[in-house]
Structure 1
Amino acid sequence: LSGWKGDPKLWSVKDGIIYGTTIGNKLKANTFLVWDGEVDDFHLSFEAKCTGNNSGMMYRSQWLNEADHRLRGYQADIHPNPPYVAMLYAEQLDKRGIVARRGQKVEVGTDGKPKVVGKTCEVTPVKTDEWQTYEIICRGNHMIHKLNGEVAVDIIDNHPNKQLKGLIGMQLHAGPAMECWLRNVRLKEL
C-alpha cells in the first residue's frame, strides 16, 4: 500500500485490488485508508464494491485523528440504500450529515442550509456488492458525483465552512463486519 496510510490489520492489496475488512477487528469508530497527498480541484474515478455495511470515498478531508486514521470531510457514499449510494455525506463536518441524496441537485446557502433545486437522475436499486464505477469531480465549491457515468448528485456549496482542499480516503465503517474492494483508481488534478 505504498502511498497510502491505513491500519495494516484492516487493509491489504490482493491481485492489484485494494482490500479492506473489519472481519475479526471490531471498530469503535470509522477508519480510512488515506492517500498520501492533498487535492483541491480534481476528477477522481474508481471502481468499488462492499459487503456487510456501507463505505465511501472521502475527499477534501482533514485528519480528525491521524493515529486512528480517522477523517472529517465530504464523502461519496457506497451504500446499499438506493437514495444513499453516491450521495454527498459530510462526515464529522459541522454536524452537516446528508447534504445531497442521489438524484438531487442541491445548493447550500451561506446560512449552511441545503436546498434541493433540481433533479439529476432516477433513483434505482444498485448492487453495491458488485463492481460499480464512481466519479467525483470538484471545481471550487461545485461538486459532482457520478455513478456508472450518470450524474448522481450536483452540489454548489456556499456553506461558510466549505472544504476546498484536503485528503482522499476510503472508509471502513464501524458496526457490522464488512469488506470493501477498490480498483482502477484514477486521479486527475484540474
Structure 2
Amino acid sequence: MHCGNRLFLCVALCVTSLPLALTAESSSDAWITMFNGQDLSGWKANPENPDSFHVEDGVLVVDGPRCHLFWIGDPENSEDEQLTNFHWHAKVKTMPKANGGLYFHTQYEESGWPFAGYECQVNQTHKDRKKTGGLYAVADVLDTSPVKDGEWYDYDIIVDGKHIVIKINGVVTTDWTEPDDWQPPKKMSGRRLSQGTFAIQAHDPESVVHYKDIRMKRLP
C-alpha cells in the first residue's frame, strides 16, 4: 500500500474509533465504587458485632455473629445514602452452609435485623430453604441455588420505580413489581419500596461470605 494511503487509513480509523471510546468511558463513569479493597471507608457497621466485617487480600470478609454493615458513602453528602432507582453489583462467594443478605432502601439501625427495605438472599447450602437470587419472604428462590459454594458469582440488583430485578451471573432469578395495594409479609411491615441505603448482613458465626467489586450507579 502507498505510504500516503496508509497514513490516511490510520487517521480515518482513529477518528472513527474516537466516539466509541468516549461513549464507553462515559458509560463506565456512571458506576460508583463502593468498596476500595483496602478498608471499610464509606461503610458503617452497627455496634452489635462490628468485628464480623474485615478486609483481607482485597476482599470484604463477612465472618461472625449477627451484624449489619451500612453504606454511608461520603459523610458530607447525605445523598449518597438515600437512593431510589439504581443498579447495584458485586461479586460474591460463600463458604459451605453460609447464610447472608443484601438490603436496599434500608436505614441505619443500631442492632437487630433491618426493619426498612428489602433483603436479597445469599444462601447456597444453609438449611434455610430460601436461596440465592430471591427477594427474601417476598419472591423467594426455593430449595435449589443457581450457584455453588466456593465459587465467585455476579450478583446484580436493579430497582426502577416499583420494579425489582435480581440477576445471578447475568440470569434473571427474580422479576417482581410491587403492587399498588402491597401488603408486606407478617412482621415485616417495612418491606416496601421508598428510598434509602444498602446494608450487608452478617447472619451468624457459622456463615462466611466474601464480597468484592462492589459498585452501583444511579438510575433516573
TM bin, normalised by shorter chain, reads 0.7 to 0.9
| Paired positions, count | 154
1:185 CA displacement = 0.8
Which among 111, 116, 134 is matched to residue 68 of structure 1? 111
1:79 CA displacement = 0.9
Distance 1:139 1:169 in 2: 19
1:128 CA displacement = 3.4
Residue 102 of structure 1 aligns to a residue whose secondary structure is strand
Distance 1:127 1:152 in 2: 15
Which among 94, 98, 106 is matched to residue 53 of structure 1? 98
Write the deviation string for residues 52-83 of structure 1: whole angstroms up to 9, x where unpaired: 421121111134xx223742221111111586
Distance 2:101 2:50 in 1: 19
Distance 1:102 1:13 in 2: 29
Residue matched to 1:127 = 148
The residue type paired with residue 86 of structure 1 is G
TM-score, normalised relative to structure 1:
0.72
Distance 2:71 2:112 in 1: 11
Q: After the TM superposition, which residues 22-33 of structure 1 pair with which residues of structure 2 at under 5 Å, given as runs? A: 22=64, 27=65, 30-33=66-69
1:136 CA displacement = 0.2
Q: What is the aligned-residue RMSD (CA, Å)? A: 2.2
Structure 1: unaligned runs, 5 residues or longer: 90-97, 104-122
Change (3 A) 1:124 1:53: closer
Cα contact 2:146–2:168 (8 A) shared by 1: no
Cα contact 2:106–2:195 (8 A) shared by 1: yes
Answering whether residue 169 of structure 2 is matched by residue 145 of structure 1, we say no
Cα contact 2:131–2:145 (8 A) shared by 1: no
1:124 CA displacement = 6.1
Which structure shows the bigger proportion of residues in strand conformation? Answer: 1
Which structure shows the bigger proportion of residues in helix conformation? Answer: 2
Answering whether residue 86 of structure 2 is matched by residue 42 of structure 1, we say yes
Answering whether residue 207 of structure 2 is matched by residue 184 of structure 1, we say no
Residue 129 of structure 1 aligns to a residue whose secondary structure is coil
Change (3 A) 1:69 1:185: farther
Q: Which has the higher contact order (CA 8 A, sep 6+)?
A: 1
Change (3 A) 1:189 1:125: closer
Answering whether residue 198 of structure 2 is matched by residue 168 of structure 1, we say yes
The residue type paired with residue 202 of structure 2 is L
Residue matched to 2:23 = none
Change (3 A) 1:188 1:88: same
Residue matched to 1:113 = none
Which among 131, 138, 142 is matched to residue 84 of structure 1? 131
Residue matched to 1:114 = none
